[in-house]
A and B are shown apart, each in its own frame.
Chain A
Amino acid sequence: DTKLQTVKSPLSTTGEQLTSLEDITHYNNYYEFGVEKDMPAKNAGVLPTRPWTVSVDGLVKKPKTYDIDALLKFRPLEDRVYRHRCVEAWSMVIPWVGYSLSEFIKDCEPLSTAKYVQFLTFYDKKIDKWGTSETSIFWPYSEGLRMDEAMNPLTLLTFGLYGDVLPNQNGAPVRIVVPWKYGFKSAKSIVKVRFVDKQPETTWQQQNAHEYGFYSNVNPSVDHPRWSQKTERRIGLPFYAQRRTTLMFNGYGEQVASMYNGMDLRRYY
């Protein structure tokens, strides 16, 4: 049985029409399983999601390893609908299932010297073989957040969508979702969480720092060098109805804007 027991969440986004399960699970960027949108759905079946552990190290009281089944029971699983905005200027509305990452981080007991948290994705070149045949990216996938961003209640440790466990192509068995940042900040299929004192090197920054910044907050007034971020295409609508205005912080400014007070978001894109 893949159904998850969930509770309602006050942090869930309202007033949006959900993107269909079919589109959420068949229009994916997960380059380890192919660079075209429909390929992760075809290829990610080979990802072994059990047994699965998440190891925690770096600036913590003591390193720990969590089993996925223990993580699933660690806190009540909440239904959280979030807008999802890809840096490629398309967007979805997704009913995720999980609990705030902050709950997990507290249990990791990071030291006060920990300023950032890094997430590393599962990678085995025999399994994620499309990652090497179709790209020149250095794996494993690495992403990171500043400590206050990781502790923001909106940042979700995610185990499911539409009330069910995550399909592999959506980052099974556990991923991060950061709804006010471009989708690539939300690392999938996490095996390692590392607390560090310096901004961690992330995959897309390493690929092209000019186009993908560490912060990557959704921001309609800062263009991607190759396209405008003022508007986006909502997935699943007919071609003439897709275009819509992009919201600052993807519409989550009330909960997150204060973290960036005094920061030049053009410089820290």
Chain B
Amino acid sequence: MKKSTLIVLKSLTWIACLWPFAVLAWGAVNNTLGADPTAHIELTTGYTTLMLLTITLAITPVRRLLPSLSWLIKFRRLLGLFAFFYATVHMLAYVGLYAGFSVQAMLDDIAKRRFITMGVTAYLLLVPLALTSTNWAIRKLGGKNWNRLHKLAYVATVCGIIHYWWQVKTGVLLPLPFTVAVTVLLLARPVLNWRQRRKARPVTV
């Protein structure tokens, strides 16, 4: 890919990733976030986090199926860091708008409410990934260790989806599309490995 094309695509990715936040910030300033702005902020940031995590998980299987798209890897770090950014805003909105900055309220929630425990777990799993996203960290850890560590993205995404299921009322199926997408993306990995092994096997007559 030409350097100029890459710059254009990266700029577009930045704009797309910042868009939900810009819309929220604009709405918050002008009080146009709808009837329940607190819930709107929390839902939008949570949804965007899951959306970005799902996209990052799609990059590897897509590259393996379509080698011509292998340049997509250049976008994964950016998307992953934006997922962390939205998760952080989601967390801060909880701390300020739901728990009212009360440490006691937060400890109560974490101890008593499994959907919050699961949400906090998902967030804490993303922290080491964000911290080791620099080239320096990759060099320091070595590619193999870095890859192993970043498998935590799978666990964090699954935790995020469980958090979503536990948050909605029993009988409400809103988290279903994410659940299906992530299940497919996670199963795609062993399936693609198996296909590759079969191809690599020498043909015996």
A binds B: yes
Contact indicator A233/B36 (Cβ below 8 Å): yes
Which interface class (under 10, 10 to 19, 20 to 34, 35 or more) fits A? 20 to 34
Alpha-carbon distance A36/B40, docked complex (angstroms): 11
Q: Is A27 an interface residue (CB 8 A)?
A: yes
Given the known inter-chain contacts A90-B39, A239-B38, please indicate yes or no for A226 contacting B173, CB distance below 8 A: no
Neighbouring A residues of B35 by C-beta, 8 Å: 23, 26-27, 37, 235-236
Nearest 5 Cβ contacts at the A-B interface = A27-B35, A239-B37, A23-B35, A208-B170, A137-B171
* A122 CB, nearest partner CB in chain B, Å: 19
Q: Is B105 an interface residue (CB 8 A)?
A: yes
Identify the closest chain A residue to B40 (Cβ): A239
Contact indicator B173/A136 (Cβ below 8 Å): yes
Given the known inter-chain contacts A223-B112, A239-B97, A243-B97, please indicate yes or no for A27 contacting B34, CB distance below 8 A: yes
Q: Which residues of chain B have a CB within 8 Å of any CB of chain A?
A: 28, 31, 33-39, 41, 97, 100, 105, 108-109, 112-115, 166-167, 169-174
Q: Is A238 an interface residue (CB 8 A)?
A: yes
Identify the closest chain A residue to B32 (Cβ): A238
Pairs across A and B, CB under 8 Å, 27 listed: A23-B35, A27-B36, A31-B172, A35-B173, A37-B36, A90-B39, A134-B173, A135-B171, A135-B173, A136-B173, A137-B171, A207-B169, A207-B170, A208-B170, A211-B170, A223-B112, A226-B113, A226-B114, A226-B115, A227-B109, A227-B113, A228-B108, A239-B41, A240-B97, A242-B36, A242-B97, A243-B97
Q: Is the interface of A mostly helix, strand, loop or mixed?
A: loop
Q: Is A15 an interface residue (CB 8 A)?
A: no
Identify the closest chain B residue to A35 (Cβ): B172
Alpha-carbon distance A136/B35, docked complex (angstroms): 27
Neighbouring B residues of A262 by C-beta, 8 Å: none
Identify the closest chain B residue to A230 (Cβ): B105
